[in-house]
Amino acid sequence: MYRREFLKSSALGFLGFCFKDDILKFRNGMHKRKIPKSGELLPVVGVGTWQTFDVGETASEMAPLKEVLRLLIENGGSVIDSSPMYGRSEKVAGQLIKDLGIRKSIFCATKVWTNGREAGIRQMEQSMDLMNANPMDLMQIHNLVDWKMHLPVLRDWKEKGKIRFIGITHYHEGAFDQVEQVMKKEPLDFIQINYSIRSRDAENILLPLARDKGIAVLINQPFESGSLFSYVKGKKLPEWAKEFDCNSWAQFFLKFILSNSYVTCVIPGTDNPKHLIDNVQAGFGRFPDDAMKKRMVDLINGF
C-alpha cells in the first residue's frame, strides 16, 4: 500500500500513462546480460506473474495487465515468468501475449510443478499451450518438486527443440543447500532464487557457483512480497541515490540486486503499469559499486 501512496505523490504518479515519453531519456537502452550457455542477451528487468496475473477474463481485470506487458516490451524488457501454481496466470499471460502480438519479443518462462513423469509431461504441454509458447524459452522445475524425475524429460525436450533452456527454482534460503547440490551435479541453464537487500544469503555460495558453472540467474522476491516497502514507509530517498541513477525506493531495491554481475535478470511481479515503469527504470543507468552497496545496506538496516 505504501508504494501506491508514494507513487501517487510523486511526479511519476501524476504523469500516469502519459509519462512514458519521460522515459525516453533512458533510451540508450536497458542493460542486458548474457545467458552463459548460449551468449544470448537478456534484458535485466522482467516481470513475474505470481498472484498479479491470476485474474478473471473481464476487460477491467485484463486491461492493466495488458498495459504492463506492452510497457515491458516498449521499455526494453522481455522476460515474463509464470507457473501452473499461479492459478490462471499462464492463461492470462498467453492471451495477452497473443492479443498484443509480442510473442517474438517475449522470453517466456514457466515451470513444472507436480509429481510423476507423465503428470509432468501433461502439465508442461498444457503450459506451452496456455502461454502460446512452442518452443518454451525456459522450463524450470518449481521448488525442486520431483526434480530427479523431471530433469531427464527437460533434457530430452531441449534436445528435441521443444524448450530452449532448462532450470530449477526456489523461493526460500532454507532450500539453498539442495539447490547448491543440484547445481553441482546437474547441467543447468538457469536457476531462479530469492535475493534482496535484506535477504543476501545467495551472495555467499549460489551466485558465485552460478558464475563458475555458467548458469544464468533469475531473481524472485526482490521486494520480499512487498514487505521491504514497510521499512522505508515515510522515509525520504537519500540524495546520494542519484549517484547511481535511482529515483525511487523500488529502483533502490532492484539496483542493489542488479549491481551483482552474476544476476542475469530480476522479475518483480506487478499488475500496475505505473509500478512496471518504475521497476524497469532500475535496468537503466548506473548501478551502485561495492562501497555504495554497503551504504545502502547500512541505511536499510538502520530503519
Can you give the pTM of this predicted structure?
A: 0.91
Could you please report the per-residue DSSP string of 206-264? HHHHHHHHT-EEEEE-TTTTTTHHHHTTTPPPPGGGGGGT--SHHHHHHHHHHTSTT--
Average pLDDT rounded to a whole number, residues 59-83: 97
> Across residues 64-70, what is the average pLDDT?
98
Contact 76, 43 (CB under 8 A): yes
Question: How do residues 201-243 score in pLDDT, each as one tens digit?
Answer: 999 999 999 999 999 999 999 999 999 999 999 999 999 999 9
Q: Where are the domains of the chain?
A: 2-301
Percent of the chain with pLDDT over 70: 91
Tally the C-alpha atoms within 13 A of residue 88's C-alpha that lie toward its C-beta: 13
Decide: helix, strand or coil at residue 157.
Answer: helix
Architecture of domain 2-301: Alpha-Beta Barrel (3.20)
pLDDT at 20: 39
The span from the CA of 32 to the CA of 23, in Å, is: 17
Distances (CA, A) of 299 to 5, 229, 255: 22, 13, 15
Q: What is the mean pLDDT of the chain?
A: 92
Q: What is the pLDDT of residue 15?
A: 35
Reported as a single tens digit per residue, the pLDDT across 144-177 is: 999 999 999 999 999 999 999 999 999 999 999 9
Residue 117: pLDDT band by 50, 70, 90 thresholds?
A: very high
Whether the Cβ atoms of residue 251 and residue 226 lie closer than 8 Å to each other: no
Q: With cut-offs at 50, 70 and 90, classify the pLDDT of residue 3.
A: low
**Cβ atoms < 10 Å from Cβ of 100:** 15
pLDDT in tens, 277-299: 999 999 999 999 999 999 999 99
Find the DSSP H helices in the chain: 2-8, 11-15, 59-74, 89-100, 117-130, 147-160, 176-185, 206-213, 228-231, 249-258, 273-280, 290-301
